[in-house]
């Protein structure tokens, strides 16, 4: 893995979507797990951590994914591919997450019960549960890409894949919704520079 940098502004400004990777560059299982651990530090509503990562690491796994991702060559050239899934039943995480907080002295049992009632009330609305799965898992996806860049790697988020085929091929349960794929590896070519809309066009002061 390349030299890592701690300068956030350099990382954020320098991140590009890279589609051409050095297929000889490999990541160890430990390096992959470290990226997931950093991604999981992302914020989430009620700290429910509405995400799950399916990891495609190695030739056989990435070849299985290739046709589902419309034969994009980056799928097999990257060092690994992460499928980011959103948790439609993240309310089930409330008990274990809050119980640990109580054990660690970060929350009282009374507050825990109040929060669980809030969560269960919110999750009666399936459309809101789906929105939460997408928005919160996307925060983790962005964090994963920034973590990879900080470690000298490059990434590309991919929305273009056959979602239904993905679900069937990899036996994704109804609890999860596939949101995006992220390729990670050493760039063989730099990402294409892109322009951004001016601050004045994307912001409004109230």
Q: Where are the beta strands (DSSP E) in 12-161?
A: 51-56, 80-87, 154-158
The end-to-end CA distance of the chain, in Å, is 45
pTM greater than 0.85: yes
Query: If you search the block for the tokens 């309310």, which residue do you land on?
Result: 91
**36 vs 158: CA distance, rounded Å:** 17
Phi first, then psi, for residue 172 (nearest 5°) are -75, 125
Angle between helices 94-103 and 109-122 (to 10 degrees): 160
- In three-state secondary structure terms, 170 is coil
Report which of 92, 85, 91 is spatially closest to residue 52, judged by C-alpha positions: 85
User: How sure is the predictor about 193, in pLDDT bands with cuts at 50, 70 and 90?
Assistant: confident
pLDDT score of 1 more than 60: no
Which domains, from first to last, does the chain contain?
Answer: 8-188 (3.40.109.10)
**109 vs 113: CA distance, rounded Å:** 6
Measured from the Cβ of residue 166, the count of other Cβ atoms closer than 10 Å reads 18
pLDDT, one tens digit per residue, over 33-55 is 999 999 999 999 999 999 999 99
Higher-pLDDT residue of 8 and 180 is: 180
Residue 137: CA count within 13 A, CB half-sphere: 28
Asked if residue 149 lies in contact with residue 14, where contact means CB atoms within 8 angstroms, the answer is yes
**148 vs 38: CA distance, rounded Å:** 9
pLDDT, one tens digit per residue, over 79-99 is 999 999 999 999 999 999 999
pLDDT score of 4 more than 80: no
């Amino acid at each position: 893995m390349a030299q890592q940098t701690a300068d956030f502004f350099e990382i954020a400004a320098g991140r590009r979507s890279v589609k051409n990777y050095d297929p000889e560059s490999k990541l160890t299982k430990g390096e992959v797990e470290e990226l997931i651990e950093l991604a999981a530090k992302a914020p989430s509503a009620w700290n429910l951590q509405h995400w799950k990562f399916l990891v495609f690491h190695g030739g056989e796994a990435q070849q299985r994914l290739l046709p589902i991702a419309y034969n994009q060559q980056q799928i097999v050239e990257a060092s690994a591919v992460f499928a980011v899934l959103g948790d439609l039943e993240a309310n089930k995480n409330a008990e274990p997450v809050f119980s640990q907080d109580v054990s660690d002295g970060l929350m009282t049992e009374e507050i825990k019960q109040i929060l669980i009632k809030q969560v269960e009330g919110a999750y009666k609305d399936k459309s809101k549960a789906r929105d939460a799965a997408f928005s919160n898992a996307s925060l983790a996806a962005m964090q994963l890409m920034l973590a990879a860049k900080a470690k000298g790697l490059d990434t590309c988020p991919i929305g273009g894949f056959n979602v239904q085929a993905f679900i069937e091929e990899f036996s994704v349960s109804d609890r999860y919704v596939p949101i995006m794929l992220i390729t990670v590896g050493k760039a063989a070519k730099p990402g294409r520079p892109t322009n951004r809309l001016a601050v004045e066009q994307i912001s409004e002061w109230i």
